[in-house]
């Protein structure tokens, strides 16, 4: 009772094909693929931006303060 037989899956497949139609399913998969590609491209662009902002010169030093400020 807990598992589905091949006939259950065939009935579900027929119902899905009737609801969405034969041409609609490939269109949905194509839209999903375009979304995934766009997401990956955005992530790659974001990583490239992060690498540019992290670069800095390590040989720069900070000069110490010349005067001490005392509280009155």
Q: What is the pLDDT of residues 8-39, one digit of tens each?
A: 999 999 998 888 887 888 888 899 999 999 99
> Residue 59's pLDDT is what?
62
Range of the domain at 45: 23-51
Residue 56 above 60 pLDDT?
no
Its pTM surpasses 0.85? no
What is the mean pLDDT of the segment spanning 44-69?
A: 67
- Integer-rounded Cα radius of gyration of the chain: 30
Residue 28 lies in a domain: yes
Say how far apart CA 50 and CA 42 lie, in whole Å: 12
Residue 13 lies in a domain: no
In 10 A of CB 65, how many CB atoms?
A: 7
Give the number of domains in the chain.
Answer: 1
Say how far apart CA 21 and CA 24 lie, in whole Å: 6
> Residue 69's pLDDT is what?
67
Report which of residues 46 and 29 the model is more confident about: 29
- Helix ranges (H only) for 6-62 are 6-20, 24-54
Residue 31 lies in a domain: yes
């Amino acid at each position: 009772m807990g598992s589905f037989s091949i006939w259950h899956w065939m009935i579900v497949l027929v119902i899905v094909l009737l609801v969405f139609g034969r041409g609609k399913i490939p269109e949905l998969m194509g839209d999903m693929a375009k979304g995934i590609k766009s997401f990956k491209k955005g992530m790659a662009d974001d990583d490239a931006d992060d690498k540019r902002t992290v670069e800095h010169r390590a040989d720069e030093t900070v000069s110490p303060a010349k005067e001490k400020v005392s509280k009155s």
